[in-house]
Amino acid sequence: MNTKILILMKDEKYSMSLRSFLLTKIEGSEITAVSDIKSLAQLKLSEYSTIIVSSELKEGVWLKALPVIKKVKSFILLGVVEGADVSEGIAIKYGADAFFKLPVNSETLLAAVKNVIDKVNN
């Protein structure tokens, strides 16, 4: 069974780098990257086990997109800067399975993604 992961991130270069990294580290994974909510809404989100969301989207957009994001079984929030609408407490309050401030160590993020996938699959 393929693990389907979705990345929602405005920075396409970083998004593609993250996608490539995860593809080499998570066997049998299928990873889709999108850069905006409009593209996200066009996908069949119930097929994905995890979404990685960057708070770099315009201020508050990730919060407004929560009803769409929550169609995915779990999500990880990457905070570019901690502020009024981005903190670990806020992320957990809105259902994030993990929160990291960028930049994040790739192995730390990988461990969190694998942990979330295991939780979803069990």
pTM of the model: 0.84
> Are the C-beta atoms of 35 and 61 separated by less than 8 Å?
no
d(CA 44, CA 83): 31
Q: Counting Cβ atoms within 10 Å, is residue 55 exposed (0-12), middle (13-18) or buried (19+)?
A: buried
Q: Counting Cβ atoms within 10 Å, is residue 76 exposed (0-12), middle (13-18) or buried (19+)?
A: buried
CA atoms within 13 A on the CB side of 34: 15
- % of the chain surpassing 70 pLDDT: 86
Cα Dmax for the chain: 39
Q: What is the CATH number of the domain that holds 12?
A: 3.40.50.2300
Domain count, the chain: 1
Average pLDDT over residues 5-17: 90
Task: Provide the domain limits for residue 104.
Answer: 3-121
Average pLDDT over residues 45-61: 78
pLDDT given at position 115: 92
pLDDT in tens, 58-114: 556 767 777 888 888 888 888 765 555 567 887 788 888 888 887 788 899 999 999
Average pLDDT over residues 6-29: 92
Return the bridge partners of 98, or none: 76
d(CA 92, CA 106): 21
